[in-house]
Amino acid sequence: MDNKMDLDKHQNEGIENIPMQQRRDFLKMGLAITGIFAGGSMLSVASTFNRAHASDFAKKYPYKPHYSMVMRQDRCIDCERCMEACVKTNHVPNVHGAYRTTILEKETPDAIGGKREFIPVLCNQCNLPQCVRVCPTKATYKDKTNGIVMMKIQNCIGCLTCQEGCPYNARYFSEEKKAVDKCNFCIDTRLAHGEKLTACAFACPAEVRVFGDLSNQEDQVFKLVHQIEKQVWVLRPEAGTRPNVFYTKG
Amino acid sequence: MAQQFTLNELVSGVVNRLKSAGMGYYLMVLISGLLVLAATGAGLHAMIMGHENFYNVTREMPWGILIAAYVFFVVTSTGLCLVSSIGHVFGIQDFMPIAKRSVFLSIATILSGFFVIAFEIKLPWRMAIYNVISPNLTSNIWWMGTLYGIYLMFMFMEYVFLNMNKHNPAVVCGFSGSVAGILAHSNLGAVFGLLMGREFWHGPYMPIYFIASAMMTGCAVIIMFHILGYKVNNEKMGPDMERSLEVTTKVGILLICVILFFTTWKMISGIAGEPGGKYEAIMALINGKFAFSFWVFEILAAMVAPLILFMLSRGKNLKFMLLASISMIIGIFVMRFNLVMVGQSVPVYLELGVNEYKHLMDYVPSLYEMIITAGGFGMTALLFLLGEKIFDGHKVDADHH
Amino acid sequence: MTLRTLVTFATAIIMTAGAALAATHGGDIVYEKPVKGVIFSHKTHVEDKGLSCDMCHNRLFEMGKVAQEKADFVMESLYQGKYCGACHNGSMAFASNTRCATCHIGVKGQKRLSGGDKHDKKGH
């Protein structure tokens, strides 16, 4: 991939490149995130990061590895290679409304120099997943080791309450699989075979999707989530599900 | 030998009563029977061929008219149970005569509800197994299903005891059934109310509203089916039954006022401060895409018109009361439809302002979904009609004295 | 009345002329390789920005040839000043490694331009 950008080179692009409107939005989002993340101490966590002990984070990131994804949203160009790779890797049926990940498009006519933003979305593998709470038969559950929200196909009765409960529209019913289907960070199709990245993260030419282990302070996702230079936010914080998919820019 | 004789006598009694019915009765039995058959055919076809080809539900709006119909039927059943229990469980004499028919109808309506939801749930056969061996105690839908199962059992036993004139076990079953019904039904409210990502539903309002709304529906259904029951049997009401319907009408008036009050504050709380996600839903009801069904069906047909008719009837004019109760039942069905659809029509990503989810979403039931819904009504009608003849107008002893 | 007719007439002439110009400028190009959905608008560059043809042709982009068929038509080349990167370097125009979604209209933008399904992910 010769069109990939070097992260280190790219990080120092400087804040002057970000339009005013977007900067305002960052600030708003920054306010929004403080309420959900680590009991409202996200910014303080970031600023005291160097002094914090690993055990402090274990409470927050209770899984090992604690899989997580960070979206560097402004890099997304909607080439949809991630979606194609996901469909191929995870045998997502070719029917309307069947997808494990997708890209949303937001027009930003007021932003200086910006016309649109693409927002990749997938299952947020929440720490407090609504879908798991509402499932009558434990057909969907949180993996005790890595925190991925999993499906136990034979338990699914197809009541679709999990779809109602999900604040991220991350689930769909698959007639082929005879169960609700959703993103599982490719645990069965890639990670179990020793791959380090999910299919979408691997396929992305712009390195939008950074996948890794939040419980590891040396991991890139940990560093991105705990940086102080750029805002980090999550989608729908008010739904209170403590998602493990984060968004940032750069 | 004596028992066999009794059995023979019972059978010949039922046969005679069925034979004595008019052409209208047979026609209604035929129509409702055909509706049930058509619905079963459509439902099984969709189940075998894959629901996605026959239902209009989507990823974003996974619950369609069948869930609304299910909610409607169980609301009705719970309401029948609760209103009728005022008499035979809590001993208010005026409500005694409506007990048997109401308990029978609460069984009929919950069976109709189960009938409809069996075709909405994608893999119902798994439910029977995994509800038992893999229960999730934090799931409101698990509690609702389990408690409704217990409820059905108690209601069934109660009806048997009522027919055997065993008063004490009937009261125990009636009380237990009411408790199970309230718990089951408020859990159904919580299925919606505890979803934190769905602003229109979220909060303690739904479980509370569901119980009050069930009692309102119960009054309407009791009045309608008792008046119809006497028509089917070509009999005239005794003074006890008339008194019973008069007090049921009064309770109905009270509960319409309660639900009007609830609805008013629900609307105001959704407008004041324009809370995100909720405001859009409320405005869709007030002057958006749900406005017609909200004002005409939910407000006028379900509440305002019956309220006026009930008051004019003074609980005595059966024509007004029948008209009011039919209007209520139609309106309440639309009410349930709106409740399920409005909550879902707000996309979870609405606030994000993305092109894909800028507006409220639409759902129009498919032909199959409508047939199955009609089949649910057919089943209630069929069981009602058969019950009238088989159980001889559900006569309560007090009726004869 | 006469004045309004005149104004309408004049506007119509200007618009027709504009459309004709755009057509002679080659219209919009949507690249599909190496990634889908990258737009280049002749109208924006020639009419709005007032650039002349010879600023790009044939030094950066050969007339009659399709740039996306070339192996080096990638972002890295742009950063080295090739193709769009000759101007999009942060001094003449915004740098090639910023404002990605300005030129990358994506699969969605491409579908919209070709008159395809506008919101294909929507419920209906």
Q: According to the 3-state scheme, what is the secondary structure of B305-343?
A: HHHHHHHHHCCCCHHHHHHHHHHHHHHHHHHHHHHHHHH
Tell me how far apart the alpha carbons of residues B366 and B45 are, in angstroms, rounded to a whole number.
14
What DSSP designation does A38 have? Answer: G
Tell me how far apart the alpha carbons of residues B32 and B379 are, in angstroms, rounded to a whole number.
7
pLDDT of residue A25: 52
The answer to whether the Cβ–Cβ distance between A159 and B126 falls below 8 Å is no
pLDDT of residue B43: 96
The partner residue sitting opposite B50, judged by closest CB among A136, A171, A175, is: A175
Task: Lowest mean pLDDT of B113-127, B244-258, C100-114, name the range.
Answer: C100-114
DSSP three-state, residue A116 = strand
Backbone angles phi, psi at B287, to 5 degrees: -145, 25
Tell me how far apart the alpha carbons of residues B171 and B45 are, in angstroms, rounded to a whole number.
42
pLDDT of residue A1: 41
Query: Domain locations in chain B?
Result: 20-392
DSSP three-state, residue B355 = helix
* Cβ contacts from A onto C, under 8 A: 72
The answer to whether the Cβ–Cβ distance between B362 and C124 falls below 8 Å is yes
Which residue of chain B is at minimal alpha-carbon distance from A128? B196
Quick one: CA dihedral A40, A44, A50, A52, positive or negative?
negative
Tell me how far apart the alpha carbons of residues A111 and B254 are, in angstroms, rounded to a whole number.
55
Sequence letter at residue A143: D
Answer whether residue A122 shows pLDDT above 60. Answer: yes
Answer whether residue B80 shows pLDDT above 60. Answer: yes
Tell me how far apart the alpha carbons of residues C124 and C112 are, in angstroms, rounded to a whole number.
17
Tell me how far apart the alpha carbons of residues C78 and C95 are, in angstroms, rounded to a whole number.
9
A110 Cβ contact list (under 8 Å, min separation 6): A21
Q: Is residue C21 part of a domain?
A: no
Min Cα distance C82 → chain A (Å) is 13
- Name the token pair of C109: 């933008």
pLDDT of residue A51: 31
Could you give the number of structural domains in chain C?
1
Q: Is residue C12 part of a domain?
A: no
The answer to whether the Cβ–Cβ distance between C100 and A13 falls below 8 Å is no
- Evaluate whether A56 touches A226 at the Cβ level (below 8 Å): no
The partner residue sitting opposite A115, judged by closest CB among C36, C37, C101, is: C101
The answer to whether the Cβ–Cβ distance between B356 and C124 falls below 8 Å is no
Answer whether residue A199 shows pLDDT above 70. Answer: yes
Which residues from B are below 8 Å from C124, CB to CB? 58, 361-362
Query: What value does the mean pLDDT of chain B take?
Result: 92
Identify the domain containing residue C100 by its residue range.
Answer: 27-113
pLDDT of residue A154: 94
Which residues from B are below 8 Å from C112, CB to CB? none
CB of C101 within 8 Å of a chain B CB? The answer is: no
Q: How wide is the angle at C-alpha B166 spanned by C-alphas B163 and B172, nearest 5°?
A: 105
Tell me how far apart the alpha carbons of residues A140 and A127 are, in angstroms, rounded to a whole number.
13
Quick one: CA dihedral B333, B336, B341, B342, positive or negative?
positive
Answer whether residue A53 shows pLDDT above 50. Answer: no
CB of C108 within 8 Å of a chain B CB? The answer is: yes
Task: Lowest mean pLDDT of B11-25, B190-204, B323-337, name the range.
Answer: B11-25
CA B346 to each of CA A52, A56, A235, B61, B274: distance values in angstroms, whole numbers, following the listed order = 41, 38, 16, 9, 14
Helices B367-390/B23-49 angle, 10° precision: 140
Which residues from B are below 8 Å from A157, CB to CB? 121-124, 126-127, 130-131
Fold of A7-248: Alpha-Beta Plaits (3.30.70)
pLDDT tens sequence across A129-187 = 999 999 999 999 999 999 999 999 999 999 999 999 999 999 999 999 999 999 999 99
Q: Band the pLDDT of A44: cuts 50, 70, 90.
A: very low
A22-27, Cβ contacts within 8 angstroms, sequence gap of 24 or more = A22/A108, A22/A111, A22/A114, A26/A231, A26/A233, A26/A249, A27/A231
Answer whether residue B153 shows pLDDT above 50. Answer: yes
pLDDT of residue A229: 85
Which residue of chain B is at minimal alpha-carbon distance from C117? B356
The answer to whether the Cβ–Cβ distance between B348 and A137 falls below 8 Å is no
Answer whether residue A49 shows pLDDT above 50. Answer: no
Tell me how far apart the alpha carbons of residues B175 and A156 are, in angstroms, rounded to a whole number.
34
pLDDT tens sequence across B312-371 = 999 999 999 999 999 999 999 999 999 999 999 999 999 899 999 999 999 999 999 999
Query: What value does the mean pLDDT of chain C take?
Result: 78
Tell me how far apart the alpha carbons of residues A229 and A9 are, in angstroms, rounded to a whole number.
15
How far is C-alpha B305 from the geometric centre of its chain's CA atoms? Answer: 20
Answer whether residue B88 shows pLDDT above 60. Answer: yes
pLDDT of residue C16: 56
Query: Of A158, A38, A170, whose CA–CA distance to A101 is shortest?
Result: A170
Sequence letter at residue A50: N
Q: Which residues pair with B174 in a beta bridge?
A: none
pLDDT tens sequence across B283-316 = 999 999 999 999 999 999 999 999 999 999 999 9
DSSP three-state, residue A247 = strand
Tell me how far apart the alpha carbons of residues A49 and A59 are, in angstroms, rounded to a whole number.
15
Answer whether residue B395 shows pLDDT above 90. Answer: no
Among B67, B137, B139, B351, the strongest candidate for a mutation testing the A interface, having the largest count of A CBs within 10 A, is B139
pLDDT of residue B7: 72
- Name the token pair of B345: 């029509």
Task: Lowest mean pLDDT of A46-60, B15-29, B48-62, B372-386, name the range.
Answer: A46-60
- Name the token pair of B75: 């609301």
Chains with at least 3 CB pairs less than 8 angstroms from chain A: B, C
Domain with residues B20-392, CATH architecture: Up-down Bundle (1.20)
pLDDT of residue B389: 85
Answer whether residue C82 shows pLDDT above 50. Answer: yes
- Mean pLDDT throughout C12-28? 59
pLDDT tens sequence across B221-254 = 999 999 999 998 888 999 999 999 999 999 999 9
CB of C65 within 8 Å of a chain B CB? The answer is: no
CATH code of residue C32 = 3.90.10.10
User: Which residues of A make CB contacts under 8 Å with B?
Assistant: 95, 97-98, 104-107, 119, 121, 130, 133-139, 154-161, 163-169, 171-173, 175, 178-179, 235-236, 238-241
